[in-house]
Amino acid sequence: MFAPYFQTNIEPWIVEAFGNIPYLQDLFAGPPYGIGTFTASLILAIMILPFISAVTRDVFETVPPMQKEAAYGVGCTTWEVMWRIVLPFSRSGVVGGSMLALGRALGETMAVTFVIGNAHRINPSLLAPGTTISATIANEFTEALGDTYVSSLVALGLILFGITFIVLAAAQLMLKSLERRSGGKAA
């Protein structure tokens, strides 16, 4: 549904808008296929947004009501309560939920496989077809003949595991840093 719409409405406008701007003209160059890195990125963003929203909402509910009521009592607006009370109290949870969603997005396979184009080349344009590690494994594992081919796909899986591990470990370190800065106990 997104690919034909992007091909006819969004991508031609992007190519025209950024066609004469240095550096951006290379990033948004080429014919509007409708499939590619740009479309896959938007679909992936749509897919992880509910996860981030649900975690953030749950974290916001952990803020003690007395703190919010005290802020309202001294005349703070809802906007000020969110920025000065709720977000500082729940910052580590919001960052943690976002990093978990990023970890989930790294391993997302099928939705991205359908719209990224599955082209095994590096192209500087976001509108051009590309591929991901998980899409490559999903597309080629059933057709892998020979020990070298299977071993290379397993190695790709190990690389994906390593990248995901590094992202989640960085999230843990960031959460501990935020906890220390806010004066709470590090988990």
Q: How does residue 72 score in pLDDT terms, banded at 50, 70 and 90?
A: very high
Residue pair 173/162 in contact (Cβ under 8 Å)? The answer is no
What is the DSSP secondary structure assignment for residue 119, as one 8-state letter? Answer: -
Residue at token pair 């080429």: 30
Residue 187 has pLDDT above 50, yes or no: no
Mean pLDDT for the chain? 86
- Helix (H/G/I), strand (E/B), else coil: 1: coil
| Domains of the chain with bracketed CATH | 2-132 (1.10.3720.10)
User: For position 183, what pLDDT does the model report?
Assistant: 63
Q: Which residues pair with 117 in a beta bridge?
A: 130
User: For position 122, what pLDDT does the model report?
Assistant: 82
Residue 95 has pLDDT above 60, yes or no: yes
Percent of the chain at pLDDT exceeding 90: 26
User: 81-89 long-range CB contacts below 8 Å, 24 or more apart?
Assistant: 86/60, 88/182, 89/62, 89/63, 89/64
Residue pair 102/95 in contact (Cβ under 8 Å)? The answer is no
User: For position 152, what pLDDT does the model report?
Assistant: 93
Alpha carbon dihedral 153, 155, 158, 162, in 10-degree steps, equals -120
Q: What DSSP string runs through 129-161?
A: -B--HHHHHHHHTTT--SHHHHHHHHHHHHHHH
pLDDT in tens, 156-171: 999 989 988 998 888 8
pLDDT in tens, 110-156: 888 888 888 888 888 888 888 888 888 888 888 888 899 999 999 99
